[in-house]
Amino acid sequence: MLLAFGGSLFAQCPYRYGATEEDSLKGLEQVSIFNMSYKAKNYKDAYEAWQYIVNNCPCAWDGIYTNAQNLLQNLIKEEKDSLRREHLIDTLIYSYEVRSNYFPDKFTKGYGLGFKAYNTLVYRGKSSTSDELMQILDWFIQSVEMEKEKTQPAIWDKYFQLAEIVTKAKKDTTYVIDAYGRATDYLDVSINNALVQYEKQVVKLDELKVQMGADSANIVNHPEGKKMIADTARQMKLVDNYRKTLAKIEKAVTPYATCEMLEEVYSKKLATSKDDISAINKMVMTMSKGGCLGSPVFKEALEVLHKANPNRNSAYWMGNLSLKSFVTTKDNAELDAAINYLQEAVRLSETNEQKADANYMLALAYQTKSAYSEARNAAYAALKAQPNMGKAYLLIGDLYATSGGRCSGEDLPLACSWAAADKYAKAVAVDPSCANEAAAKRAKLRYPSKDELFKRGLKSGDPIRVGCWIQESTTVR
C-alpha cells in the first residue's frame, strides 16, 4: 500500500522543477520571479510566473498554493473583463482542488474542499440555482466532517450563512440546526485546542524570560524571544477568531433554535441515534448553548453521552443538572452526585478557563452543602487558574459573611464581616464589573458594635486576626 501510494504521488510529481536541467533552471527562475513579484504586490507578473509553475512544475513550491487566495483575489477585484474574471475565479477554485494532490502533507482534501465551497459561494452564490447552492452546502458539510475541529473560522462563517439561505428558501430549520450542531460540537474543541497551545507558548515565553534574567526586558530583541512573541500573539488571534465566529453563529441561530424547536428536532433523532455518540454530543452541546438545561431531551441525551463517553463537558453539565435537581428536591444524594460530577469535570479540564469554571461550580456545590472550607479551597483553585475571576472572591466573601453563627463562640462577634468586606473589595479590584454586586453585599454586612470594640481596646485601623475556620488577618473599621 505504501509503495502504491508513493507511486501515485510520483505520478503527480515525477520531478520538482523540471524534466531536464534546462526546465529545472526555468522552473527555479519562475519561482524566484513569483516570490519577488508577489512580495512587491506586482500581481500581474506574479500571476504569469504562477501559471508557468502550476502548468510545468506544480510540485516546485507549496507557496504558490498558500498565496493563491490573496493573489487571485486581488486580480479578480481589479479585472474589468467579465470573461477574464470568470476564468480567474475558475483558476482560484482549481487551486484548492489540486493542492492536496501535490502537497498532501501540507494541505488536506477537507481544507481544499472547504475553500472551494467558500470561493464558489462568494463569487457565484448570487447567480447559483437552488441545486447548485445545495451542492455548495454539501461541499461545506463534507469539509467540516473531514476537518472537524481543524475547520477554519472563515469556512464556518460562510457555511452557516449558506445554511441560513437554504433554511429560508426551503422553510426548513433542519439545515440551520444541523449547522449549529456541528459548530457547537467542533468549535468548542477548536477553541480549547487553540487555548492549550497558547498556554504552552506562554509557559515557554516565561521560561525564556527567567533564563534571560535581568535582560528579560530586551526579549523583543532576542531572536528566539521575538519569534515566541509573534507565535503567541498569532495563537491568541486564532482563539479570538474562533470565539468571534462561534458568537456570531450563536447570535444568528437564535430565531431558529428555540428550546421548543430543538426538542422537536432532537427528540426524533435521539430515538434512533443512541449509538451515534457523535450525534448525541452535538445534541448536548447545542441544547446546552441554547439554555435548554431543563429539557427532558437534553437530560436523556446527556446521560447517554456521559455513560458512553464521559468527558469534561458531560461531567460539568451532569454536575449542573444534579445541583439544580437538589435545589428542587432537597435530596442530598443529588448534591453529592453534583460534587462528584464537578470533581470529575475539574480532573478532565485542560485549559485554565475550563479549570476556573469547573472549580467555581464545585465551590458553589460545596457552599450549598455548607462545606465552607472545601468551598473556599475550590474557589481559590478557580482563582489560581483565572486570577481575575471576581465572582470567586465574591463567593469567598459570602462564605465569611454567613459564618456569624458558626463563629459565635469567638471573642469578638461579627469580626468575620471585616474578612468578608476584604474579599468583596478584592473582587472589585480584579474585576471592576463586580462593583455593584460587591457594594450591595457590603451594605448588608453587620459589624461589631462600638461598645464591643471599646471593651477590647480596639479602634479603627487596628490589625486583627479573625479566628474560627476563617483564620485571616484584617483591619478594624
Q: Which has more pLDDT, 44 or 268?
A: 44
pLDDT for res 43: 96
How far the first Cα of the chain sits from its last, in Å, is 80
Q: How confident is the model at residue 10 (pLDDT cuts 50, 70, 90)?
A: very low
More confident residue, 285 or 383: 383
Closest CA to 368 of 405, 414, 420, 328: 328
Q: At what angle do helices 174-212 and 352-368 cross, to 10 degrees?
A: 100
pLDDT band at 8 (very low <50, low <70, confident <90, very high): very low
Residue 12: per-residue pLDDT: 67
- Mean pLDDT across the stretch 210-226? 79
pLDDT in tens, 57-80: 999 999 999 999 999 999 999 999
Beta strands 472-475 and 463-466 are antiparallel
Q: Where are the alpha helices (DSSP H) in 13-66?
A: 21-39, 43-56, 63-66
Please give the pLDDT value at position 276: 86
Tens digit of each residue's pLDDT (9 = 90 or more) over 76-110: 999 999 999 999 999 999 999 999 999 999 999 99
Contact 64, 51 (CB under 8 A): no
Please indicate whether residue 426 or residue 263 has the higher confidence score (pLDDT). Answer: 426
Q: Give pLDDT tens digits for 355-410.
A: 999 999 999 999 999 999 999 999 999 999 999 999 999 999 999 999 987 886 66
For the residues 143-155, what does the mean pLDDT come to? 96
pLDDT exceeds cutoff 60 at 4: no
Whether 3 has a pLDDT exceeding 60, the answer reads no
The pLDDT tens digits of the residues spanning 410-459 come to 678 788 999 999 999 999 999 999 999 999 999 999 988 888 888 888 98
For residue 1, pLDDT over 50 is answered with: no
Mean pLDDT of 172-179: 90
Cβ-contact 31, 53 below 8 angstroms: yes
Query: Can you tell me whether residue 8 is helix, strand or coil?
Result: helix
Residue 351, φ and ψ in degrees, nearest 5: -95, 160
Whole-prediction pTM value?
0.67
- Percentage of residues in the chain with pLDDT exceeding 70? 96
Q: Which of these, 366, 363, 416, lies nearest to 389 by C-alpha position? A: 363
What whole-number distance in Å separates Cα of residue 179 and Cα of residue 161?
A: 10
pLDDT value at residue 86: 96
The enclosing H or E element of 243 equals: helix 223-253
Q: In whole angstroms, what separates CA 101 from the centre of its chain? A: 31
Does residue 317 register a pLDDT over 80?
yes
Q: Compute the average pLDDT of residues 452-469.
A: 89
Give the model confidence (pLDDT) of 180-214 as tens digits.
Answer: 889 988 998 899 999 999 999 888 888 888 888 76
15 contact partners, CB below 8 Å, separation of at least 6: 23, 24, 57, 59
The pLDDT score that the predictor gives to residue 125 is 94
Mean of the per-residue pLDDT values of the chain: 90
- pLDDT at position 5: 33
pLDDT number for residue 80: 94
* Highest-confidence segment of 180-189, 209-218, 219-228, 303-312: 303-312
- What does the pLDDT read at residue 326? 95
